Amino acid sequence: MKYVYLARPFFSNEPIARLKQVESCLAEDPQPLAVYAPRLYQESSSEPYTPEWAREVFEKDMLELTRADVVVAVLDDHEGIADPGTAFEIGAAHVRNKPVIAFQEKAAAVNLMLTESVQAYLTDLAARTAYDFEAMAHRAFVGDYI
């Protein structure tokens, strides 16, 4: 079973709805996948939104990213400008030699640091559903660069 770290901001209704859609898609995958979605694990022994809370949540997320076999990063954000946290998670996965599967349905120019650090760049839910997490085929970004 592959362990998937799901990278995506979750700070307003639209990103949360989008994230839930991708979570459902991953849950229905014919391959057995265990998914860690950071939005579901923001609890801490410290008061929320304090420096202590931030450190605990960061450490937990980085531990789970390190444990993951693969990172799925949802990039449907601000006109091709990735969320800074998601971009950080992609970079952290890359330096740990973790494959990253980028998922972006909204057409937009993308920074080459993101496109060149991923194993596969998928542009619709059908491609995400069909993607084989065992074979981990390379699928290059096709589009415009920022």
Q: Which amino acid, 92?
A: A
Residues facing 144 on adjacent strands: none
Please answer whether residues 39 and 11 qualify as being in contact, where contact means their C-beta atoms are separated by less than 8 angstroms: no
- Give the pLDDT of residue 109: 85
Q: What is the pLDDT of residue 77?
A: 66
Could you tell me the pTM of the whole model? 0.89
Mean pLDDT by 10 residues, the chain (146 residues): 87 68 76 87 86 93 97 77 87 97 86 92 85 92 88
* Burial class, 74, CB count within 10 angstroms (exposed 0-12 / middle 13-18 / buried 19+): buried
Residue 145's SS3 state is strand
